[in-house]
Amino acid sequence: MKKNISASTLMALALLAAPAFAQDHAGHGSHAGHGAQAPAAKKTGAANTGNASFESLDKNRDGFVNKAELPERHPLLAHFGMGDKNGDGKLDRKEFANAMAML
């Protein structure tokens, strides 16, 4: 006997499985600790743009931060590619601020 699985049954299974996958993902690799910072400790407003950090990381003062300019254990290293929206291998101020906001 051939069994047909309805679309609604598949959707229900997917929705039930999603929290398990999310929980499993959170405890692995460089993603551990995301969101662990207490909300009260986070910077707000203009200070959250990361400009001061951008300035200190832009070692060659070319207006960009590339991977080589980031310290060895900087949390942005693991997410550099996601922040580099135009794929030029470096982060401008806006890309840097957006990438830092993802951490």
pLDDT per position as a tens digit, 37-71: 444 444 444 344 455 689 999 999 999 999 999 99
At 36, the pLDDT band (50, 70, 90 cuts) reads: very low
State the DSSP H helix or E strand holding residue 102, giving kind and residue range, or none if neither. helix 93-102
Q: pTM for the full model?
A: 0.53
Q: How far apart are CA 39 and CA 75, in angstroms?
A: 18
79 touches 103 (CB < 8 A): yes
Q: How far apart are CA 44 and CA 95, in angstroms?
A: 18
φ/ψ region of 67 (left if φ > 0, alpha if ψ in -120 to 50, else beta) reads alpha
User: Which pLDDT value is given to residue 15?
Assistant: 58
Tokens encoding 6: 């309805």
For residue 26, is pLDDT > 60? Answer: no
